[in-house]
Amino acid sequence: MLDLDSGTVPFVGDGKRADALKPFWKRLRCSGAKVEAVAIDMSPADIQTVTNHLSRAAIVFDHFHVIKLFNEKLDPTRREPQRLREALKLNDSLAAAGSLKEELREL
């Protein structure tokens, strides 16, 4: 965890599970600190944990995970032109044969 205002690390948990944060939530409650926003990744577990302990805090998704999700959604769109070019290339010989047929008809 990182306090963005002070740049300090107020807590380092042992592990990645929600249980690792139990001491932090207890210390936070005792301190009476008012948390306005929490930046987290998009994992449902993290969202649930923050919602359970800081129901009034805004949840902000971190930049890295937002960009990663956008890229995952964008990849199929990026691939579309390549697939179209490949499909059109398959038709090259058919188009050439059709053109030759029409030229033959004109003779």
User: What are the domain boundaries of the chain?
Assistant: 1-61, 64-107
pLDDT tens for residues 36-64? 999 888 889 889 999 999 999 999 998 89
pTM over 0.75: no
Angstrom CA distances, 36 to 15, 67, 97, stand at 25, 24, 69
Contacts of 57 (CB under 8 A, 6+ apart): 35, 36, 37, 38, 50
What's the whole-number mean pLDDT along residues 94-101?
Answer: 82
> To the nearest whole percent, how much of the chain has pLDDT over 70?
100
